[in-house]
Amino acid sequence: MASILSTKRQDNTVVAEVVMNSPEMLELRGNLDNIHLFSENTAEISANIATRGAKDATKYFLIPRMLRKNLHLDEKVSCQRIDHEGKTIFVYIIKKEVNK
């Protein structure tokens, strides 16, 4: 788990000094651009998992109604799993519809 040590404003951006352990850094696989910082403490919307099939073998993450607006759900979706200290975080990347 990473922590922000310090922040400072520079023009219209914020420069953050981040400390993280080595396994988390290795998960970036050298990608140092397009990084999104988030805290698990900001996940305030409840969601559910649906199960189907024999012995509930198939699981579906249900997107809460209030979060479904403007999503391209018929296009390719990518996913990442992050395991950390008894918790698992799933991150899905879905293209967003652009209003014309």
Residue 23 belongs to some domain of the structure: yes
State the pTM of this model: 0.72
Q: What is the spatial distance between Cα 74 and Cα 95, in angstroms, rounded to a whole number?
A: 9
Mind listing the pLDDT tens digit of every residue in the chain (100 residues)? 788 999 999 999 999 999 988 888 888 888 888 888 888 888 899 999 999 999 999 999 999 999 988 888 888 999 999 888 889 999 999 888 776 5
At residue 18's C-alpha, the angle toward residues 17 and 21, to 5°, is: 150
> Residue 48: phi, psi to the nearest 5?
-130, 160
Total domains in the chain come to 1
Three-state secondary structure call for residue 88: strand
Please name the residues in contact with 31: beta carbons below 8 A apart, sequence gap of 6 or more: none
- DSSP labels for 25-42? HHHTTT--SS-----GGG
Residue 69 belongs to some domain of the structure: yes
Write out the residue range of the structural domain in which residue 61 sits: 3-93
Residue 37 belongs to some domain of the structure: yes
